Chain A
Amino acid sequence: MSESNLYRSLMRCPVCFSRDTDVLMINTGNEFHYCPKCSFQGMESEIRGMYRDIQKKFHNMGKRFTLEDQRAL
């Protein structure tokens, strides 16, 4: 795996992603990112927290439904 890959330090905009749009933010080099498409800007830790918020809608994200389980769903 390439350690020098450009994408190591890039993140997607959580505001655009919540609209189902992938937009790579621009990393200014100090864990601060801004979006070239919308007005959102923030630190990496804040962005990761927003990703968690996006996932809250997936109520069954941690559940395994086997074939038998799914027949009964």
Chain B
Amino acid sequence: MMLFNIFHRPGAGAHYDIYRQQQELAHQLGLKTTIFLYYSDLFDPRAIADAIRDRDTYGDEISLALHNLTGPGITEISNGQIALWLLDRERKEQILARMIGKFAEVFGANPTSIGSYHLDSSCLEILRRLAPEARTVIGGCFEEGVRVFHGCNHSWYLFNEGMPWNPWYPSKTHGLRPARDEEDASGVVAVPHLVRDMSLAFEGRNDFWASHPPNVIRGMGNDATFCPYDLNLVDQYRMQAEWNGGYSYYNTFVSPSWLDWNHNSEYPPEVAWELYRKFLTYMASLKKDGQLEDLTLSAYGERHRQIRPVGHDEVYLAKELLYGSGKHYFWFVDPAYRVTIDATQGGSIGDLRPYAGQAPVATGPDTPHRDIGSYPYLIQSQHRAGNAHHCYDGARTTLLIKHGEQTLDLCNFRAKVASVARADGKVKIALTPVRFSFSDGVSGDLTTRYEFGNGTITVCRELSGLPAQADLELIEYFKGAPGRTEYPEDLHGIVLEANGSSPVHRDFDYSGQWSEAPGATEVAALIPHVRTRLSLQSGSAVSGRVHAGHLFSPYFTLQLAHRLIGNGTTCTCLNLTSIAA
């Protein structure tokens, strides 16, 4: 079953008529909407009367949108800042108090839901105090971070990365981190502003590839009014129900300006309208077939509380739809981490967010984070190079397979996700086998299996088809760095460790030096930036190495080696544990 939210908001001038046509279209199709009114709309009798009529006639919800901080008593506080989360705490509170107070004055009660492009931890705390009735929010734009910053020069700046792609319970200390338990939870259910293509949102402009037909026009993914991609993305989300308790989630939020001539399209408005109509018509047909339920935002929040306990995990199997690349990505999120497996790079980790450390972030000029509300990464292979292509590699994991003088890098072997399953309280995936050969003729097949959950990622490598005497070294490899953007951060303070016959404990010093650890069964990095200890651990490992990269390659690297004669399987745990701040 797909649970579906439609969000609409009034526009100014001629765009008000477009908003009304959007509402009319949804209602003709028998779909409910949630109407987001800006503060300035709360002074417009027509907008208020129309919203009340739609609520009373069609069951729509009237909600409060926090963006565009203009209107009586607010313009002079915001001073041109349009994003609430980028103000200091005092101004956030002043503006929220005015907005919520005006909403209550107009409608006789506080809003039950709130919409924002991002809600940092201080906004959430203030919101919960001023309007405890607002139990559901639009809490962030998935991965609209530095890629969108680069892609939208002169227009769009939102450092908002490292959040769940589907609805979540924001924690008290970071609005993008899913809460561990009720005590850690901020008290709201958050949904993303649009849902995104989990392949192309990772690789590039995720605003193009989302549940927003005119945005797909912006990305040039359509041929006039022919755009099967819009419905393909819906069906890819429907597919996720198979691994997520039978439910999937989708929403759309098309503002009136996108259905007029606008700066993001060279087509006349009729094209955007036709694609929006086709999209909603498809959703209505799914509803008619019993495959979809349309809800208001608040109703979704209450449903979420019934079907997803705090602390739940979520998976997404992404199959690239537009280029025809055949690429698979696998995503897993729970309160300990969010991870992306890049099957096309042999199953390496392409993105890793260590939620286990519960790094606190609030945004605003009165915080050290200023505008960057991201949850920091330890691996982000798009921003930080990933697999080597012309020089050093960057942040990534891989398996190095050594035989004689030759080393193969699993990142250079393409695989797919062959299976996804839930068992023993964990999520388990298997990749398709890859065939490898060495120059002396030794060859074999390697199958990678992952298990996710409880703060650990277990990776097993099963080798088959090898000659009985083939002597191989299998090296699990982790190269990472704490970061938030494409640029490196100061890595001083990281400590590298290994056990074994000559234990290692050294400060990260940009020396470019390796430290060998014969007999090691664990190698680790303590990373105070993210309050996390990351370790690779395997009882059957024979040695380890740790490396402090120099300034031209500013990463720490951990290696843990196994020796294998002939066929066999190795298993290694990547553990993420919290350390004191």
Contact = CB atoms under 8 A, between A and B. Distances in A.
B205 interface: yes
B324 A60 contact: yes
* Overall SS of chain A's interface: loop
B235 A22 contact: no
A10 interface: yes
Nearest to A7: B261
Contacts of A64: 228, 231-232
Contact of B326 (A22, A62, A73): A73
B389 interface: no
A54 B152 CA distance: 17
A67 B152 CA distance: 33
Interface residues of B, number: 40
Contacts of A62: 223, 226, 228
Interface string A39-65: 000000000100100110111111111
Contacts of B170: none
B220 A54 contact: yes
A1 B18 contact: yes
Given A61-B229, A71-B239, A2 B321 contact: no
A24 B319 CA distance: 32
A11 to B, nearest CB: 5
B151 A22 contact: yes
A73 B153 contact: no
Given A20-B151, A61-B221, A62-B223, A70 B261 contact: no
Contacts of A63: 228, 232, 324
A8 B222 CA distance: 19
A5 B322 contact: no
Interface residues of A, number: 34
Contacts of B221: 55, 58, 61
A66 B236 CA distance: 8
Name the residue in A22, A37, A54, A64 with the highest tally of chain B Cβ atoms < 10 Å from its Cβ: A22
Nearest to A20: B151
Given A20-B204, A60-B322, A70 B236 contact: yes
A20 B326 CA distance: 22
A49 B231 CA distance: 26
B153 A67 contact: no
Contacts of A59: 323-324
Nearest to B227: A61
Contacts of A51: 220, 266
Contacts of B232: 63-65, 70
A55 B147 CA distance: 20
B261 A1 contact: yes
B229 A21 contact: no
A1 B447 CA distance: 56
Interface in B1-36: 13-14, 18
Nearest to A72: B319
A40 B262 CA distance: 22
B150 A21 contact: yes
Contact of A67 (B220, B238, B261): B238
A53 to B, nearest CB: 10
26 contacts: A1-B259, A1-B260, A7-B261, A7-B263, A12-B264, A20-B147, A20-B150, A21-B152, A22-B151, A55-B223, A57-B323, A59-B324, A60-B321, A60-B323, A60-B324, A61-B223, A61-B228, A61-B229, A61-B322, A63-B228, A65-B232, A65-B236, A67-B238, A70-B319, A73-B319, A73-B326
Closest 5 CB pairs of A and B: A59-B324, A5-B261, A64-B228, A60-B324, A7-B261
Interface of A: 1-2, 5-8, 10-12, 17, 20-24, 37, 48, 51, 54-55, 57-67, 70-71, 73
